[in-house]
Structure formats: structure tokens, C-alpha cells
């Protein structure tokens, strides 16, 4: 997050992990932390398949 700000990034793009049906609505802990703490927009992409 600090790196994105230092580089002047407008967007952070990161993958989510494929989860079981029980955990489908929960994103990973790293993605969650980035979403909560980043001052830059964050796009989390879900895997295909």
C-alpha cells in the first residue's frame, strides 16, 4: 500500500483465492487488510473456473 502511494498508483489489482462454498463470501485475509488500509482504489479479481 505504501509502495502504491509512493509510485503514484491509481489502482491496486490483486487476485482472490478460490474458496469452498462455505467460504465463498469471505475474501482472504491479505486482500481484506489491503481493502481496509489502502488509500488507493483496490480491485480484487476472482479466478475463472
pLDDT tens profile 11-41: 999 887 765 555 555 566 788 888 889 999 9
Q: Which residues form the domain of 31?
A: 2-45
Count structural domains, the chain.
1
Q: What is the pLDDT of residue 21?
A: 55
Q: What is the pLDDT of residue 9?
A: 95
Say if CB 38 and CB 12 are below 8 A apart.
yes
Residue of higher predicted confidence among 10 and 35: 10
b/e for 21-34, b at 16 or more Cβ within 10 A? eeeeeebeeebeeb
Q: What is the pLDDT of residue 29?
A: 74
Closest CA to 12 of 41, 46, 45, 39: 41
Q: What is the pLDDT of residue 20?
A: 56
Please report where in the chains the cell 462454498 appears, as a residue.
21
Closest CA to 31 of 45, 11, 16, 48: 16
* pTM flag (> 0.75): no
pLDDT over threshold 80, residue 44: yes
Amino acid at each position: 500500500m505504501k509502495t502504491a502511494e509512493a509510485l503514484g498508483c491509481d489502482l491496486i489489482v490483486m487476485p482472490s483465492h478460490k474458496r469452498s462454498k462455505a467460504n465463498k463470501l469471505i475474501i482472504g485475509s491479505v486482500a481484506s487488510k489491503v481493502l481496509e488500509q489502502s488509500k488507493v482504489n483496490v480491485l480484487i479479481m476472482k479466478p475463472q473456473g
